[in-house]
Amino acid sequence: MPDTETMSAPIETRAFGELIGALLNEQCDLTAVERFAQFHEDATGPLQSRFYSALLPGRTPGPGEQYAFEVDLDRCSGCKACVAACHSLNGLDDGEAWREVGLIIGGPPDLPVLQHVTSACHHCLEPACLSACPVDAYEKDPVTGIVRHLDDQCFGCRYCMLACPYDVPKFHAGKGIVRKCDMCADRLKVGEAPACVQGCPHEAIRIRVIDQADVAALADARGFLPAAPDPSYTLPTTRYVTLRPLQGAVRAADHHHSEPEHAHAPLVVMLVLTQAAAGGFLADFLSRVTGQGSHWGLPALSVALGLVGIAASVLHLGRPLYAYRAIVGLRHSWLSREVLAFGLFAKLGLVHAGVAFLRPGLALASAAGVSVAGVAAVVCSVMVYHVVRRPFWQAGITGVKFAGTALVAGLGMWLAVRGGDRAIGFALAVASVIRLAADCAILLHRHDARLSPLRRTAELLTGPLKRISTLRLGLGIVGGIVLPLCVAVMGDSLPSDVRRVVSVLGLAALLGGEFAERALFFMAVVRPKMPGGMPS
């Protein structure tokens, strides 16, 4: 029988009781979010591990070992799913990629080669990015061997981008720093596969534990990857395996494709003006040693150009407020040494300029000191580019260029300050002829039998960069040869004011030519990298 007490209760009371009951029943069930959270809390490992567990090593590296990518070339189809996965899971911006897919072509006519190649950071045994970085923004994990970039430490100088032969570090303009692949180290730590490993539908990418001694042996035997940069430089750990070895002559699909590189305008200004300052101080020292006397205007002009050049270099940084960190890597980075050398050079230059103005009799000693500092700073600049192993930047070429800039600019400044000295005019014309001849010597590589990096540089200079090359040559001839010879030949037949104006115009044209040459220095260099795709 019905409960007489319940039946006799008011309707409002029964409705309230039913509502309370419904709410209590609802509380007994979990929401979708709560069920999702509980499901993951109860999981003992990555939920999708069954799909990629075979692609991960079963243990952590031991002494003398490290993690490395292994790429099965027979499985890589060039679909770029790995690129998309890396982009998505690492939250990269549009146009930013830490993994790329290239193409190798060639081989014998009866068995042509068309091989896709996926590549990212190779986590080298001797990372060039780490040794080059002036702020120690890279570290190589002593256990896993993974080379990681420390974003907070980076100040965006991009020197690591020049040092890496595989074009791995990428500059992020919005953040003002460089970023790169870290093998998804946080995922590996908890047993989850990196994004590219998970994303590849053909299981072409794996993570392996490799013996570091084997890496060095393979690099000595050039057993890395055909059409890739020389592995003996950084000892890359990525292994490319195949059951069908690439036969015959093979090359990257973009091997014949060359484009001008970025001009790096702040560095152009910095290099030209600091080298001109070094040359000016040397000229001032020589004038005092030879007893010709020197006007205080030459050291004043030299120190002004040097300070402007040093200030311009800061504009190259993605995070210029952190420029004070630049000497952190003094033990291993030539860029840190260059910064320190130019800092000392600037201080000695200011001292000498002051001494030359206030106490000319004591200026010889200060001129000698700042001259030595200037030469040391220019040598550091040469080494900054020599150590990155780009043929166009080797010391034999770069040293001549940088010393030539210091020589002709120093003579040009001396001529302008002295108001048109005949001997200096002749010396400048001769030096300029030698300087321009040395610059043009690179064009001889256009006749190289193979498409070497220097031949490609020569083709850039006479192709896409022809206008800048012509401008550089024209300004160099006018400012370094024609106008100085006018002063030297005509001599006293010209009024002193005219000689001074001609000398100043010559210096301006000369420096303009040096700016154009230094832009070509950056734009015509051939960047080493992993094989790319077919050019469009």
Residue 313's contacts (CB-CB under 8 Å, 6 or more residues apart) are 266, 267, 269, 270
pLDDT at residue 295 is higher than 70: yes
Q: What percent of the chain has pLDDT over 90?
A: 72
Quote the tokens at residue 499.
Answer: 């000689």
Dist. CA 364–CA 484, nearest whole Å: 27
pLDDT digits (tens, 9 = 90+) for 166-198: 999 999 999 999 999 999 999 999 888 999 999
Query: How many beta carbons lie within 10 A of that of residue 53, not counting itself?
Result: 13
pLDDT digits (tens, 9 = 90+) for 93-110: 988 999 999 999 988 887
pLDDT (average), residues 490-518 = 91
Question: Is there a contact between 183 and 171 (Cβ–Cβ < 8 Å)?
Answer: no
Q: Does the model's pTM come out above 0.85?
A: yes
Q: Does domain 51-252 have CATH number 3.30.70.20?
A: yes
Pick from 334, 332, 349, 348: which is nearest to 380 by CA? 334
Amino acid 461 reads: L
Quote the tokens at residue 91.
Answer: 């939250």
State residue 6's pLDDT score: 47
Cα dist. 47→32, 53, 55, 82, 279 in Å? 18, 11, 15, 20, 66
pLDDT at residue 492 is higher than 50: yes
Domain boundaries, the chain: 51-252, 265-523
Cα dist. 57→209, 210, 224, 427, 476 in Å? 6, 10, 21, 68, 61
pLDDT digits (tens, 9 = 90+) for 212-254: 999 988 876 567 888 899 999 999 999 999 988 776 788 999 9
pLDDT at residue 443 is higher than 50: yes
Question: Is there a contact between 199 and 48 (Cβ–Cβ < 8 Å)?
Answer: no
One of 3.40.50.2020, 3.60.20.10, 1.20.58.760, 1.20.1630.10 is the CATH number of 265-523, namely: 1.20.1630.10
The residue ranking higher by pLDDT, 112 or 373, is: 373
Pick from 225, 159, 236, 150: which is nearest to 185 by CA? 150
pLDDT (average), residues 321-326 = 96
